Amino acid sequence: MRVGTDSLRLGTGFDVHRFAPDRALVLGGVRLRERDGLLGHSDADVLAHAIMDALLGAAGMDDIGRVFPDTDPGFAGADSMVLLASVARLLDENGWALVNVDAVVICEEPRIAPHREAMLGRLAEAMGVDVKRVSLRGTTTEGLGFTGRGEGIGAQAVALIQRAAVEERPAGQPEGQARVGLRQRPEERL
């Protein structure tokens, strides 16, 4: 078998959480309601968790359970947007840049469409990328399985990353800031 270049890498992520009556529901960094949220060690943002696993998998790194273990009390109730920003920074520090992320939330309710733009904005901001690099949809399972019975929410994500280009450093710019990657603003990459 021939081996291709290592400049592009693809990763997938999947996460599920069950509903919990006394938790806020947070999806894609957007607080949708104060009750009937998802059970988890952090804020249980199932969408952000799937995206983090996709990014980490694409880079050949450990999954979020090892990067942010639920046995660590420091992550109890953690904001998943902060965790996602940490993953983006980790990839950037290892020379990877995001090409795009595509995700789907699987649930009977809430409907994703009314919150889609806000979620896209929060996810892109956490990753430090233009919102055009993130796509999101919601779907149901037509009443089948645990999501169909309204027991929880699932999410799947795929991420494509590439080796970050290293540009010439302009005079006066500190070393390490010339790398083009996830944490730079999109206009800085042009």
Q: Domain 8-189, CATH 3.30.1330.50 — does that match?
A: yes
Instruction: Characterize the bridge pairing of strands 30-33 and 134-139.
Output: unpaired
Q: What is the pTM of this model?
A: 0.85
C-alpha distances in Å from residue 168, one per residue of 47, 171, 176, 177: 36, 9, 11, 10
94-112 per-position pLDDT tens digit = 999 999 999 999 999 999 9
Sequential pLDDT tens for the chain (190 residues): 665 667 899 999 999 999 999 999 999 999 999 999 999 999 999 999 999 999 999 999 999 999 998 899 989 889 999 999 999 999 999 999 999 999 999 999 999 999 999 999 999 999 999 999 999 999 999 999 999 999 999 999 999 999 987 654 455 544 443 333 444 433 343 3
Tokens representing residue 43 in the block:
């804020």
Q: Yes or no: say if 100 and 131 are a contact pair by the CB < 8 Å rule.
A: no
Q: Measured between alpha carbons, how far is 75 from 42 in angstroms, rounded to an integer?
A: 6
Q: Is the separation of the CB atoms in 30 and 122 below 8 Å?
A: yes
| Chain-centre distance for alpha carbon 20 | 22
Q: Give residue limits of the domains in the chain.
A: 8-189
- pLDDT at position 6 is 73
Could you tell me the maximum CA-CA distance found in the chain, to the nearest angstrom? Answer: 60
Asked if residue 106 lies in contact with residue 17, where contact means CB atoms within 8 angstroms, the answer is no
For residue 141, what pLDDT is reported?
A: 95
Query: What are 107-139's pLDDT values in tens digits?
Result: 999 999 999 999 999 999 999 999 999 999 999
